[in-house]
Amino acid sequence: MDLSPPCSRSVGVGGLSKEQLGNQCLADQMTKRPQINAEKTIGVALHQASYLFKTAMRSAFQAEGHDATPEEFVTLMLLPETGIDHGDLVLKLKKEKTNVTRLLARMESKGWIKRAVHAQSGRQLTISITPLGAKTRQHLLPIVQKVATRALDGIKDTDVETTRRTLTRFADNLMI
């Protein structure tokens, strides 16, 4: 009688093929595995780092007298001087279209961007940065650089680049 666990057997058991048995073993392992330490998961680490970085940015902006959010700053940084199609900006920001539309409305009310109907299509919107938006971007950039320098203290440049590439791939893998 074979007393080895079903996952280590090389032939099917009880009419199950090797593939079915492998799938069953995987399911058994997933349900019987030890408790996950949530504090050591990538999701928790991402959440905490993102929250703390955005909070530090908001505080630094306010301390310098700027009414800006981290999302507005990132959007200003991603806007090319020549303008960008609304749909392309949505893809660059990796956000839902409705959220980007609200964000752009807020930025337009601050005078940082201008939305106009695309000259050729007549339907699509083109987003352009205004002179005030460009000036705001220039004022916010050193503030963010200061926060980033603090956040990256003691981390090697090669580790920063590896993390950036990994997070970019992580996000790309999740794009729908």
Query: What DSSP letter does each residue of 92-150 carry, written as one string?
Result: HHT--HHHHHHHHHHHHHTTSEEEEE-TTTSSSEEEEE-HHHHHHHHHHHHHHHHHHHH
Q: What does the alpha-carbon distance between residue 144 and residue 147 come to, in Å, rounded to a whole number?
A: 5
Q: Tell me the pLDDT tens digit for each residue of 42-97.
A: 889 999 999 999 999 999 999 999 999 999 999 999 999 999 999 999 999 999 99
Q: Could you give the CA distance from residue 124 to residue 87 in angstroms, rounded to a whole number?
A: 8
CA angle 114, 119, 125 (to 5 degrees): 45
- CA–CA dist 98, 132 (Å, integer): 24
- List pLDDT tens digits, range 114-142: 999 876 766 778 999 999 999 999 999 99
Short-list 128, 149, 125, CA closest to 78: 128
Ordered strands of the 125-129 beta sheet? 84-85, 125-129, 113-117
Angle, CA of 65, 67 and 73, to the nearest 5°: 110
Domains of the chain plus CATH, in order, are 68-153 (1.10.10.10)
Stated pTM of the model: 0.75
pLDDT computed for residue 147 by the predictor: 98
3: confidence class by pLDDT, cuts 50, 70, 90:
very low
Decide if pLDDT at 23 tops 90: no
